[in-house]
Amino acid sequence: MGIMGSTKNNGNSNNNMTSTTVTNTETRPTVAIMRPVRYEQDSIQVCRTAGFDVISAPMIEILDKRDEHFDGFVSRILAGQSDIVIFTSANGIDHTLDKVTDRDAFITALNRITTIAIGPKTREAALEQGIEISFMPESYSSEGLVEAIRNDVQGKVVDIARSSHGAPILVEGLKAAGAEVFETQVYEIAIPVRGSAQEELIQAILDKTVDAVVFTSSMMVRNFLEMASQMGCKDEVIGMLNDEGVVVAAIGHPTSNTLNIYKIQVNIISNEYTFNALINETRKSFIRSDLHE
């Protein structure tokens, strides 16, 4: 599907993923999640709706950032010099708008050009702010986005607003397809200060009271293991994650590959880059297990 001829949509799409409700509550497996504070409560509810008890502790902290490219990014949007603007997360939208002096003028300018959201959560955050989304790829990843629009970007000016840990393939892939690409980092991802919540989650894994552990990014994997290292139990935690009684789930192959680097076996890889899809895939493994008992 091409993007340059796309019309703005109203947010209705069949791509939205909804959690599967499990009615049998006699045995509820426990899942450990590590989502940032922004997504924590919604993510807990997704897990509970899918039939899990939840242990939650953020392993990622979101910090605002304004790099040297931000002013140029805003100027190109306001002047109509950008052909395509890409937002790769809801955080990217929030942290962009928080730094813009005239938000209304900026949003009006965005709505004159092709604006892309990498997935449904990003699109939802955009629509809440009055930003009209022209296109969303079927695969919610940098790789999927490059593949979806590579034939439409030759000679186009593309602006990307995202985190300091964005996948290089997005910029590299679009440049290779003939686009002039500008990137601004509007927020950064950091490791939070270790607190009781993080320690309790790690201890629950050590105590074998967790049935599944889900990871949604490579940074989350690294921060989680750094926390375990600070507690002096990194090797023990890795051993527990490799126990046959624990399901380890990851969004996409990049996250899975990072887990593999640390010698952690991954049982489930969600090819749809949403938390809902990952939890539903994780729950299916328990349903299959129940059927064989």
* Domain containing residue 251: CATH number: 3.40.50.10090
Output the pTM of the full model: 0.77
Alpha helices in the chain, H assignment, sequence order: 37-49, 70-79, 90-97, 103-110, 120-128, 142-149, 168-176, 196-206, 218-230, 234-241, 252-261, 275-291
In a domain, 21, yes or no: no
The boundaries of the domain holding residue 225 are: 30-60+193-291
Looking at the structure, do residues 55 and 199 belong to the same domain, yes or no?
A: yes
- Contact indicator for 212, 54 with CB cutoff of 8 Å: no
Statement: residue 18 has pLDDT above 70: no
User: 253 near 290, Cβ under 8 Å?
Assistant: no
Give the number of other CB atoms < 10 A from CB of residue 179: 21
Whether residue 186 sits in one domain with residue 68 = yes
Residue with tokens 């509810």: 45
47: which 2 tokens?
């897990």
The residue from 162, 190, 218 where one domain ends is: 190
Q: Do the Cβ atoms of 164 and 188 come closer than 8 Å? A: yes
pLDDT in tens, 181-220: 999 999 999 999 999 999 999 999 999 999 999 999 999 9
Does 36 reside within a domain? yes
In-domain check, residue 271: yes
In this structure, the number of other CB atoms found within 10 A of the CB of residue 184 comes to: 21
Q: Can you tell me the mean pLDDT for 30-50?
A: 95
| Domain count along the chain | 2
Asked if 170 and 184 count as a contact pair (C-beta separation under 8 A), the reply is no
Q: Are residues 168 and 272 in the same domain?
A: no
Compute, in degrees rounded to 10, the torsion defined by CA atoms 38, 257, 272, 23.
-70
Q: What is the pLDDT of residues 99-136, one digit of tens each?
A: 999 999 999 999 999 999 999 989 999 999 999 999 99
Query: Region 58-77: what's the mean pLDDT?
Result: 97
Residue 267 lies in a domain: yes
Strands 268-270 and 247-251: parallel
Q: What is the C-alpha R_g of the chain?
A: 20
Token pair belonging to 204: 């629950």
Is 235 a member of any domain?
yes
At residue 11, does pLDDT exceed 80?
no
Q: Are residues 70 and 171 in the same domain?
A: yes
Residue 19 maps to a domain = no
Asked if residue 176 and residue 139 are part of one domain, the reply reads yes
Kindly state whether residue 283 falls inside one of the protein's structural domains: yes
Same-domain pairing of 232 and 267: yes
pLDDT above 80 (res 20):
no
Q: Is residue 6 part of a domain?
A: no
Looking at residue 27, its pLDDT comes to 77
DSSP strands (E only) in 79-211: 84-87, 114-117, 157-163, 180-190
Q: What is the DSSP letter of 135?
A: B
Residue 163 φ/ψ region, left for φ over 0, alpha for ψ in the -120 to 50 degree band, beta for the rest: beta
Domain boundary among the residues 190, 205, 234 is at 190
Tracing tokens 């990194």 back to the chain, one arrives at 234
pLDDT-derived band at 24 (thresholds 50, 70, 90) equals very low
* Counts of helices then strands in the chain (DSSP H, E): 12, 10
Q: Are residues 72 and 169 in the same domain?
A: yes
Look at residues 190, 223, 250 and tell me which one is the last residue of a structural domain. Answer: 190
| CA distance linking residue 202 with residue 72, whole number of Å | 43
Q: Are residues 159 and 216 in the same domain?
A: no
183 and 223 both lie in a single domain: no
Yes or no: say if 79 and 53 are a contact pair by the CB < 8 Å rule. no
For the beta carbon of residue 2, count every other beta carbon within 10 angstroms.
10
At 288 the pLDDT is 62
